[in-house]
Amino acid sequence: MESEIARLLVVQSGVISRRQVLAEGCGVHDIRRKVRRREWARLHPGVYVNHTGPPRWGQQAWAAVLAVAPAALSHESAVQAARRLGGVRGGDEPIHVAVDRRRMVAAPGGVVLHQLAHLDTRVHWNLAPPRVRIEQAVLDVAASATDDFAAIAALASVVQSRQTTAARIRAALDSRRRISRRPFLAGVLDDVALGTCSVLEHGYLDRVERPHGLPCADRQLLACSRGPIYRDVDYAPYGVLVELDGRLFHDNAVARDRDLDRDLDAAVEGKRTVRLGWGQVFGRPCVTAGRVGLLLKQGGWSGRVSACPECA
């Protein structure tokens, strides 16, 4: 009895539920005694931790799962658990937990409840604490993100940290019958998997160039100064090249060297090169348009950057 409770406390980062204690033959009076002696402290109704100090994040996660068990971490919390941040001191962020869609259960304070269909097929029940598979969890985060840039950042972070691959996330996306942003997420994942910048190129056109009245540029223009090179965006009359770098990982030495050669070749041709990434295109398109417009004016453009509906 006591040995099994001790084992559960070890496995569950010092957290245990009333249901588990009673299942081992102890009574409610035993729980009350533990709390009275300050050996345990209540985290949620019917859930306790074996100390009285501030709980760590992993203990908050376990408490949330046990409070509405059977349940599993989901969304941001499942992603965070995969990063093994259980030893980090807990903060004010809510813990996201998934339960079966058919269950009606109230979420305790600090817990965001998600009712999911086919929960059993989405969850790693053998992990501690149980959590939605990383591919499904990050798709939920990206689909509910406040903007496209946040969605991209969510996908990028789990691939860059090698928690999963773009191909696995894309397979999970294809298995979902309904999900927000499906075409966009599919494009980003294909972009990550293949190393191309198609989504970024469309983003630059639709978010930076067109809405702000910038001149129409030539795209994917073949240049042969040092073998076949395709320039992403070429404002030829004004001597400005825009290279869209969709890589979500740190450059290696060879890739960085190749980029520097491309920029040097452009300078020899009398053109200035600007390299833009996801942040400039999706996070700050209006600011980016203004800066590109200034470069074009320096090259002789007589137009003016116009305000789009999103400009402050």
The contacts of residue 281 (CB under 8 Å, 6+ apart) are 200, 203, 204, 207, 208, 244, 288
Mean pLDDT of 146-162: 84
Between residues 289 and 267, the one the model is more confident about:
289
Mean pLDDT of 193-220: 82
Tell me, what's the pLDDT at 150?
85
Residue 172 has pLDDT above 80, yes or no: yes
Confidence of residue 269 (pLDDT cuts 50, 70, 90): low
Tell me, what's the pLDDT at 78?
96
Tell me, what's the pLDDT at 279?
86
Residue 82 has pLDDT above 70, yes or no: yes
Q: What distance in Å separates the CA atoms of residue 50 and residue 131, rounded to the nearest whole number?
A: 23
Domain ranges in the chain? 2-132, 137-194, 198-298
Q: In what order do the strands lie in the sheet with 111-116?
A: 111-116, 95-100, 72-73, 131-132, 123-124
Mean pLDDT, the chain, whole residue set = 86
Tell me, what's the pLDDT at 221?
61
> What percent of the chain is predicted at pLDDT more than 70?
84
Confidence of residue 33 (pLDDT cuts 50, 70, 90): very high
Confidence of residue 156 (pLDDT cuts 50, 70, 90): confident
Q: What distance in Å separates the CA atoms of residue 277 and residue 203, rounded to the nearest whole number?
A: 10
Token digits for 18? Answer: 């009333």
Handedness of CA 262, 265, 267, 269 (dihedral sign): negative
Q: DSSP letter string over 280-296?
A: IIIISHHHHHHHHHHHH
What does pTM read for this prediction?
0.75
Which amino acid, one-letter code, is at 105? V
Q: HEC string of 27-71?
A: CHHHHHHHHHCCCCEEEECCEEECCCCCCEHHHHHHHHHHHCCCC
Tell me, what's the pLDDT at 230?
65
User: For residue 117, what is the DSSP state?
Assistant: T
Tell me, what's the pLDDT at 218?
84
Fold of 198-298: Endonuclease; Chain A (3.40.960)
Least confident among 105-109, 197-201, 235-239:
197-201
| Sequence-ordered strand ranges (E) for 75-196 | 95-100, 111-116, 123-124, 131-132
Residue 101 has pLDDT above 90, yes or no: yes
| Residue 213 burial (CB count, 10 A) | 14
Mean pLDDT of 195-199: 62
Distance from CA of residue 262 to its chain's centroid? 31
Q: Are strands 131-132 and 123-124 parallel, antiparallel or unpaired?
A: antiparallel
pLDDT digits (tens, 9 = 90+) for 242-253: 988 876 655 556
Confidence of residue 233 (pLDDT cuts 50, 70, 90): confident
Residue 1 has pLDDT above 80, yes or no: no
Residue 68 main-chain phi, psi, to 5 deg: -125, 25
Helix (H) and strand (E) counts for the chain? 14, 12
- Give residue for tokens 């005694």: 33
Q: What distance in Å separates the CA atoms of residue 185 and residue 187, rounded to the nearest whole number?
A: 5
